[in-house]
Amino acid sequence: MLSLAALLPVAAAPSLPSTPDLGKAEGRCRPGESGPSFMVEVKGLKDRTGNLKLEVYPANDKDFLADDNVLVSEGKTFRRVEVPVPASGPVRLCVRVPGPGSYGVSLLHDRDGNRKFGWKVDGIGFAGNPKLGWNKPRSAKASATAGNGPTSLSIVMNYRKGLGVAPLETK
């Protein structure tokens, strides 16, 4: 489970404010996308409120979940897709990547619409669906490999549970 203690260093770290539209033009899939991309199926949503924010990072611990402005200014991979949660039906998102290879992938269910993760309200998920502990997951556990065309992923969302976060219990 991801705890409050894991988020404090991230919240306290000095960084440039995120630019909400950064990475969106590069991340937006075209109709009938045939190039390298991730086709993400979202599982375990708590509800159908707010927005989903899918982000792609370099697959290394230093850059995974790093500030988007810093990544882009250093010429590193950063892609973002942000959409309202659909009212019903399966939830799928598509994000383009620069080419075949390994990438860190995170998905935020921004239930309150403030564009950042609030562990008491929002949901979080990663490629590979790692079990979340006291720190952010290591890049190797939260990455996926894209091929020459669309690559399917399934991400299970995690929400507040006690002092941490975990997938919702299914009955």
Nearest to 53, CA basis, from 63, 44, 64, 42: 42
Q: What's this model's pTM, rounded to 2 decimal places?
A: 0.86
pLDDT score for 18: 64
Residue 114's region, left for phi above 0, alpha for psi from -120 to 50, else beta, is alpha
Q: CA separation (Å) from 100 to 24, 35, 38, 40, 109?
A: 19, 9, 10, 16, 26
pLDDT score for 166: 87
Residue ranges, the chain, pLDDT below 50:
1-15, 171
- Residue 31 DSSP one-character state: T
Rounded Cα distance, 38 and 151, in Å: 5
Contact call for residues 56 and 27 (beta carbons, < 8 A): yes
Rounded Cα distance, 109 and 104, in Å: 17
Rounded Cα distance, 128 and 14, in Å: 29
pLDDT score for 22: 86
Spell out the SS3 assignment of 96-135: ECCCCEEEEEEEEEECCCCCCCCCCCCEEEECCCCCCCCC
